[in-house]
Structure 1
Amino acid sequence: MKKQTTRYIIIAMSSLMAITSCSKLIDIAPVENNTSDKFYSNEIEVKQATLGIYARLGRNGTNTDFATDYFWLASENRSDLLYIASETSAQNDQLDLRKFLTTPTSGTVSSIFARLYQLIKEANNLLYYTQEDQYTRYRAEARFLRAYAYSELARSFGPVALITKPIENDEAVKLPRTPVADIYAQVIDDLQYAAANLDKVYTGADAGRVGSLAANALLGQVYMTMAGFPLNDNTANAKAETVLAGIITDVKTRFSPVYANLFTLANENKYDLFSIQFASGGLNIGSSLAGYCTSSASSGTPFPEWMYSSYTTQGQDVRVDSLLVQDMKATKDLRFAASIDTGYWNALSTVPTRSFILKNIITKFLEKDNTNTNIKAWNDQPRNFPILRDADVYLLYAEALIADGKAGDAKQYVDAIRTRAGQPVLAAAPTLDDIKHERKYEFIGEGKRYFDLVRWGETSAVNTLSDFAKYYHSKLNGQLPTKKDLLLPIPQNEMKTRSNWDQNFGY
């Protein structure tokens, strides 16, 4: 299935490169170059443009993909799941994010911001240059992807410029920061359109492209985000409940009975609702995330039983919270083995003097196969990255039900998650604390934890992150997190071009 999707992405990249005026992959020429309006002339071109929007979440002509920059470095890396055991001289952005020393000049933050607006620009181009009654599916996908980009901008940067059609640069820099509530209104409108105009899921050659289940799942997540900090919209829980109730039966058919099966190549696109597609082979469409699971010397792989000898990792020496590891092992949580390794051998079994290196590291997205010749580099891993999957809907729906006073109705969904993890069913109706526990363990390595902490409350988020930093990072030259760290800074290169924007609080 992925081979077909990957082939389409490569075709899209090649075609779009042919019409662009700059060297970046799939970067449709801007309006002032008067070429975009000539491209969307038939279904083949519109389909290629649509796949090009998806491709922005991949490597995007760079060394790292969106999942690595955003969900790993800017979310999981800053949460109470990972700590720095020792520092290396590389990847200073990762250190600054982890130690709450990030500034508006951060290259990672700038990359995240720019990538999301690139995606928005290309979605706007497609929507502007195609008619409302033409190419409905492609337009629905474009609106889904635009909504997704704005939802991430809103929860990570707060108010940003809301752009829904192609505009020239001199006009764009004059736009104000649109209130978050207004951004979410546009997101909701886009997702409702997508949900109404897409099939539930797509399979075969179209596997990996979003359907109406993904649109409604994302809509439910948006409503639950709005229900929490900072908007605290007291109508949003009920809206989330209604939306998620409408898809829960269909999502049950995509619920994997075995947790570990969610992340294997054999099951890709079988249980996900929306995931970033990757493939090995040296075509610049592999994943870089597994390359950040730990640090390594520049001369070879730290784990030769898992990867070929010249495979190096790029990240800092980050490790999983020891207390979490102890608890998962004590309770025999089946999510542990599928997500975390407690160490690795530093040599093959043929070396009699080899040592076992004790490190609790996340290996959920590392394809452990030192004979795999398709993996050409540290950033050429093949596993997809799930943005929305079965457990998102189960746990968000259960959380909405609990908030709306229907905890008894939520129990079956929390129990399903626990049973799959080898845990006993709850003795009573679930509480919000049960939801927090399951989300923390269920989504290890998937970049949801930081955003969950924020939406569950400003004070509790700062306290949780501060306590974790005090426990693990007291000897580092970092700072304790404060209110400012609940958003990322607006990149400095953006602030330089906008005289009517104020920087986010504390930066």
Structure 2
Amino acid sequence: MKKSLIILLVTLISFSCKKDFIDLQPISDMNAGNFYQTEKDMNQAVMSPYGSLRNLYNQSFIYVGEIRSDNTTFSWVPGNSKDMTSIDNFKDVLLSDNSFVLNLWNNSYNTILRSNIVIDKIDAVPFSDKKLQSQYKAEARFLRALTYFWLVRTFGDIPKVDRQLSVKDAYELGRAPTQEIYDFIVEDLKFAEANLPAVHVAADKGRVTVGGAKGLLSKVYMTMAGYPLKKGASHYALAEAKALEVIGMGQYSLVSDYKALFDVSKKNSSESLFEVQYKKGGTGTGSPWNNDFAPRFSNREVVLVGDKGGFNSPTPDMSKAYETSDPRKALSMSDSYVTVPGNKLITEKYVRKYYDVSFSFSDNDNNWIELRLADIYLLYAEALVRQNKQFDVALSYLNKIRQRARNSTGGGATILPDYLPFSSASAFSLAIEKERRVELAFENHRWFDLVRTERAKVVMSAEQLEQNGFPLGSWNDNMLLFPIPLQVIQSNPEKIKQNLGY
């Protein structure tokens, strides 16, 4: 019998049952035949795809969003891990049996499966409140759309799984065109936008709202406008409109202090549109980044409790990207640390944006902010500039980001002065790109910004020269996508074909 289709055929279902949203725990091996009977059952079912996002944001998305870009690298690699270095160094061949790529694929389709279960089952369940029924479905469709957005940007054409599949159906499933996947994402997000609430009660804080759906839709349109679909002006206009709707809602605002954005005591702030929820305490729901990003051989001078990974280390170019005295640098990264004991200066860069004191090992309280208002401001400004209109409005939103950054330290206008009008749209676009890089550093945006704006070739060629000491050589656009995992192809070679160049 053929090997099963990796995660497309997964039938393991897990749910959660506590009252507080961020405390919800999975319960495995539940009898699915006796489940999905009540509103409470469906509420628990919706929690399942939320919970599975943690497996993706823990590490997989960091590999493709940050390490693949010019932002970060590894300060320490165990043994001779080509699985790690080939994502970072373009001179190493990125093979289709890469374990990190396979994990991303499997965990993504697991999240999609869990979302599809909710979508498939919920209409048959009696609800006293039909709006609540539509809300639960909208949450599942948002989570499905978010996961597909990551998949299509990473792999290009991918299987479109829009329902629970039989084994026979799964073997008939090939890779859907990128355009079809984006249309599917947009359809899901429009449904979510129409059926999600503006806010949740305190116990449900962290569940997605209409602002999250609008914000992600703006980002999707922005991506569709650029490479590879190149929809251009029509989709820049759509991105502009959705971003403006978020801004016009009035419920989101930039927090006054940049540092507060990443304070574990101030999660789900007024700036946040959607965060992946984590909670430390030995329950398996804590976040690992403070420990993962610490220099491998550091001591308590960097993290007080737990492991140190040497993972996702800022590049020299990332360090230089910050302007002199930009307070976001010291809050986001460090170029060195002083040993304790020994008082020796170690010039090793590390991310400090996600600082917390671990409960044990790598168990921290940080959420992952997937969408926040600063991102929307910058997308809005860029959408205007790409359409060659309202440069004054775009400039005002770009400067709002700088004003917040300098006000975080009370440094006055001499630190990060406002941008003055630009001489051209191209110069303006590059300034927005730079501001996105330092404002959103280490938040998984950089690689996809470079791809959609067709700046990856220029930027990554320079970064690889700095990192490896010799030029990248001939550029191939195949490098913009990751390989389809070998196991997936082997499970269904008649239907699943490999990306070009792998």
TM-score (norm 1): 0.85
* Distance of 2:386 and 2:251 partners within structure 1: 22
Deviation at 1:363, TM superposition (A): 1.4
The CA distance in 2 between the partners of 1:287 and 1:178, in whole Å, is 33
Q: Tell me which residue corresponds to 1:155.
A: 153
Do 1:91 and 1:315's aligned partners in 2 also have CA atoms closer than 8 Å?
A: no
What is the aligned partner in structure 2 of residue 55 from structure 1?
A: 51
Aligned pairs for 1:27-426 (under 5 A) are: 35=32, 38-58=34-54, 65-84=55-74, 87-89=77-79, 92-100=82-90, 101-131=93-123, 133=130, 135-234=133-232, 235-250=234-249, 253-270=252-269, 271-297=271-297, 302-308=298-304, 311-316=306-311, 319-326=313-320, 328=322, 330-347=323-340, 351=341, 353-367=342-356, 369=357, 375-378=359-362, 380-406=363-389, 407-422=391-406, 423-426=416-419
Contact 2:66–2:447 (CA under 8 A) maintained in structure 1: yes
SS at match of 2:189: helix
Is contact 1:208–1:275 with CA below 8 Å preserved after alignment? Answer: yes
* Further displaced range: 400-409 or 46-55: 400-409
| Cα deviation 1:423-457 (Å, max 9, x = unaligned) | 21121157211210110111111111000000001
Give the superposition deviation at 1:257. 1.7
* Separation of aligned partners in 2, 1:91 and 1:315: 14
- Counterparts of 1:418-437 in structure 2, within 5 Å, are 418-422=402-406, 423-428=416-421, 431-437=428-434
- The Cα of 1:324 is off from its aligned counterpart by 4.0
Q: Is the 8 A contact 2:77 2:310 kept in 1?
A: no
Q: Which amino acid aligns with 2:65?
A: S
Matched residue, 1:61:
none
Aligned counterpart in structure 1 of residue 439 of structure 2, from 427, 434, 442? 442
Q: Does 1:19 align with 2:18?
A: no
Letter aligned with residue 169 of structure 1:
V
CA distance in 2, matches of 1:84, 1:281: 28
Secondary structure of 1:269's counterpart equals: coil
Query: Partner of 1:484 in structure 2?
Result: 478
Q: Distance in 2 between matches of 1:91 and 1:251?
A: 48
Closer/same/farther in 2, CA of residues 268 and 91 from structure 1, 3 Å limit? farther
How far does residue 295 in structure 1 lie from its aligned partner after superposition?
4.2
Aligned AA for 1:412? S
Distance between the aligned counterparts of 1:319 and 1:135, measured in 2?
Answer: 44
Q: Which runs of 5+ in 2 are unaligned?
A: 1-17, 125-129, 407-415
SS in 2 for 1:104: coil
Assess if the C-alpha contact under 8 Å between 1:71 and 1:446 holds in 2.
no
**Matches of 1:135 and 1:85, distance apart in 2:** 48
**Per-residue displacement from partner, 1:271-302 (whole Å, max 9, x unpaired)?**
321111111111111112333314424xxxx1
**What are the within-5 Å matches in structure 2 for residues 455-470 of structure 1?**
455-457=452-454, 460-470=455-465
Task: State the AA in 2 paired with 1:6.
Answer: I
Counterpart residue type for residue 307 of structure 1? V
Secondary structure of the equivalent of 1:19? coil
Structure 1, 167-176 or 251-260: larger mean CA deviation = 251-260
SS of equivalent to 1:274 = strand
Which stretch shows the higher mean deviation, 232-241 or 88-97?
Answer: 88-97
Question: Which amino acid is 2:99 matched to?
Answer: G
Maintained 8 Å contact 1:77/1:94: no
For 1:365 and 1:479, the matched residues in 2 are separated by 36
| 1:99 and 1:479 in contact (8 A); partners too | no
SS class of match (2:273)? strand
Change (3 A) 1:135 1:321: same
Q: By how many angstroms is 1:88 displaced? A: 4.1
CA contact (8 A) 2:158 2:177 kept: yes
Residue 295 to residue 335, structure 1, CA distance change in 2 (3 Å): closer
Whether the aligned pair in 1 keeps the contact of 2:66 and 2:444 (CA below 8 Å) is: yes
Label 1:361 to 1:312 Cα distance change in 2 as closer, same or farther (>3 A).
same
Q: Which amino acid aligns with 2:20?
A: Q
Q: Summarize deviations over 1:61-100 as a string: whole Å, max 9, x none.
A: xxxx312433322221111122455654275422221113
Q: Structure 1: which 5+ residue stretches go unaligned?
A: 21-34, 59-64
The size of the alignment, in residue pairs, is: 460
1:203 positional shift: 4.7
What is the percentage of aligned positions where both structures have the same residue?
29
- Rounded Cα–Cα distance in structure 1 between residues aligned with 2:321 and 2:66: 19
The SS at the match of 2:53 is coil
Is the CA contact 2:321–2:438 (under 8 Å) kept in the aligned structure 1? no
Name whichever of 90-99 and 141-150 sits farther off: 90-99
Distance 1:426 1:257 in 2: 20
Are the equivalent residues in 1 in contact too, given 2:70–2:318 (CA < 8 A)?
A: no
Specify whether residues 165 and 83 from structure 1 end up closer, same or farther in structure 2 by C-alpha distance, changes over 3 A only.
closer
C-alpha distance in 1 between matches for 2:81 and 2:253? 38
1:388 match: secondary structure: strand
Q: Work out which of the residue numbers 491, 496, 500 in structure 2 matches 1:501.
A: 496
- Seen in structure 2, the aligned counterparts of structure 1 residues 232 and 504 have a Cα distance that, compared at 3 Å, is same
Q: Distance in 2 between matches of 1:140 and 1:87?
A: 41
Question: Are residues 91 and 261 of structure 1, via their aligned partners in 2, closer, same or farther at CA, if it must alter by over 3 Å?
Answer: farther
